[in-house]
Structure 1
Amino acid sequence: MNGAILLLCIAVILFLALMIVLSAVKIVPEYERGVVFRLGRLVGARGPGLFFLIPVFERMVRVDTRVITMDVPAQEVITLDNVTIKVNAVLYFMVVNPNYAVVKVMDYIRATMQIAQTTLRSAVGQVDLDTLLAHREKLNERLQKIIDEQTEPWGVKVTIVEVKDVELPQSMQRAMAKQAEAEREKRAKIIHADGEFEASKKLAEAADIIAREPVTLQLRYLQTLTEIAVEKNSTIIFPLPVDTIKVFTDMANYAGVNGSPGNRPTPVVAPTTDQPQSGATRRLDG
């Protein structure tokens, strides 16, 4: 009887010893660190790998050191030029000091999230809409710097902050579309005017060459006729040189000014009613 009780006590003691040994053995993977507290005081971070804790006297808190990706919820912000928009972002951060991440802040993930939301509203409210849309890289760098400075005492390193989406009001979208359309029309008109200017210079050079060599105008007529003949047209236009018509027009102008002898009109002499003629007529009658 006494032997059975003794064996039972030994078995219980061995079982308790085994449980204590198993609770003292800790295995931490490569991406984690174990922050150890001894009687409530910070001992330090241990791991990765296998290590032992003093049962009852030491306690361990696991901390993930991998990069954490977090979506910052959409924030309604009024920009510097008084435009109400909704903007959201994505945040990448990691724990570089596990001791501070456990001791300095209660929940470093939630605290980092709140800091990111506040900083996003503040930073976007200090820039205008054009800067936000055209120079987003500078805003991302500014956000990363501000958030990293505030989370550094917690042992958290913010690596990247990216503004994902900017939601504009419908009225602002229509206004921006009109502005872009007007800008495109402006560029088109400028390009067209530049083309006309270059074409006018080339035409002036061509006119100078044609003025020195009139034969080139006839060659140009023939080339134009060749281009017209390529198309399936029923009418063929044959250009007549201006010099050929000029001879006939000069003759017509000369004939119209001087007149021909055969067609020259006969002058008509109207009878006069002077007083001396009337007196002479009376004398002859008498």
Structure 2
Amino acid sequence: MINTTLIGLVIAALVVIYIVTRAVRVITEYERAVVFRLGRIQEAKGPGIIIVAPIVDKVNKIDLRTHTYDIPPQDLITKDNVTVQVNAVTYYNVVDPVRSVLSIENYQVGTQQVAQTTLRSIIGQTTLDDLLTKREEINSKLQQIIDEVTNPWGIKVTIVEVKDVMLPESMRRAMARQAESERDRRAKVIHAIGEQEAAENLARAAEVMEAHPAAMHLRTLSSMLELGAEQNSTVVFPLPMELLRLFDAAGTALGGQSGTAKGDAPAGSTAAPAAGGPTSGGPAADDPAARPAAQGATTHHGAWSDDGHEAPPQGDHPGPVGHESGDRE
């Protein structure tokens, strides 16, 4: 009898312990308990100690902390047909425990799948340049689209960040060449601007030196001092600017005198006509009958004898020319 009573008490104690352990639940601060009582949803409970019926109630604990999901690398094609590999990270948390249980079977898997598909869609609508330079805009667009999809599930997507964009090797080399060309262009532009400013300063310095000759002398002496400081065999003989100006003035004066001498020469001085020859405006030039005689006189090269008769040329009448020359003597 005593043994039977003792066994009954032990069994009753075990049942009470089981009921207590199943009825009393402790909910931590970052959790909420979604209770189904006979299949009907109850309000979320917690944190702290809650009492539930062991057989009647079913409890689902929901973690309200921020969850992190690392989107694996995705092989994507951008808007300008460049193949890239992109991975990202998503931060989300549960804001409504009841909807996260009633609206979707597993809110974590659903959020991860939406993040992957949205990443593919947005990268496909973006060019490579925008993907590399406008990262903040892409992250904001991803966060808005994913949050709109997961909001009916009681999920709040807070941050979506594109972590890495891996380009093909050929594209990396092309971008490196482009960056190098851009740096060369900037260097040339800066050098050209410096040359322009130096030329403007030199022009202003030349104007000052021209207005003040003493400044030119000081500059010459300074240049000589700089040359003398170096260990070289260069010898500099400075010439005063006044001497150079004197040579310039003398050359200008000589050029002016030579031009004046050329202008004073008589304009009508021409060669005198041959003796006995026709001149322009004379009777021989005006008389047609005299033209053949004049032409004959100019083209005939015969000799004249003492009695006034013309001697035949030597080529036509070969003869003793020497006798005639002797008689003439």
- Partners of 1:46 and 1:246 lie apart in 2 by 106
Is 2:102 the counterpart of 1:107? no
Which deviates the most, 223-232 or 59-68? Answer: 223-232
> 1:6-34 CA deviation, whole Å, 9 max, x = no partner?
23212211221121112111001111111
Which residue does 1:125 correspond to in 2? Answer: 124
Provide the secondary structure at the position in 2 that maps to 1:164: strand
Which residue does 1:65 correspond to in 2? Answer: 64
- Partners of 2:4 and 2:235 lie apart in 1 by 130
- Give 2:216's aligned amino acid: L
Which residue does 2:160 correspond to in 1? Answer: 161
- Partners of 1:248 and 1:6 lie apart in 2 by 144
Provide the secondary structure at the position in 1 that maps to 2:156: strand
Runs (5+) with no aligned partner, structure 2: 259-274, 276-300, 306-324
TM-score normalised to the size of structure 2?
0.74
Deviation (angstroms), 1:285: 6.6
Residues 283 and 23 (structure 1), Cα distance of their counterparts in 2 relative to 1, 3 Å cut: farther
TM-score normalised to the size of structure 1?
0.84
- Partners of 1:285 and 1:217 lie apart in 2 by 85
- Partners of 2:52 and 2:247 lie apart in 1 by 123
- Partners of 2:67 and 2:170 lie apart in 1 by 37
- Partners of 1:11 and 1:186 lie apart in 2 by 92
Structure-to-structure mapping, 1:1-286, within 5 angstroms: 2-244=1-243, 286=329
- Partners of 1:134 and 1:242 lie apart in 2 by 61
Which deviates the most, 117-126 or 201-210? Answer: 201-210
Does the 8 Å CA contact 1:37/1:44 hold for their aligned counterparts? no
Deviation (angstroms), 1:152: 0.7
Residues 284 and 145 (structure 1), Cα distance of their counterparts in 2 relative to 1, 3 Å cut: farther
- Give 1:71's aligned amino acid: D
- Partners of 1:191 and 1:89 lie apart in 2 by 39
Does the 8 Å CA contact 1:225/1:238 hold for their aligned counterparts? no
- Give 1:122's aligned amino acid: S
- Give 2:104's aligned amino acid: V
> 1:177-211 CA deviation, whole Å, 9 max, x = no partner?
11111111211222122122222222222222222
Deviation (angstroms), 1:214: 2.5
CA root-mean-square deviation = 2.8
Higher relative contact order (CA 8 A, sep 6+): 1
Q: Identity rate of aligned residues, in percent?
A: 46
> 1:129-150 CA deviation, whole Å, 9 max, x = no partner?
1111111101100000000000
- Partners of 1:150 and 1:225 lie apart in 2 by 81
Deviation (angstroms), 1:283: 9.2
Runs (5+) with no aligned partner, structure 1: 259-273
Residues 283 and 62 (structure 1), Cα distance of their counterparts in 2 relative to 1, 3 Å cut: farther
Does the 8 Å CA contact 1:66/1:94 hold for their aligned counterparts? yes
Which deviates the most, 58-67 or 201-210? Answer: 201-210
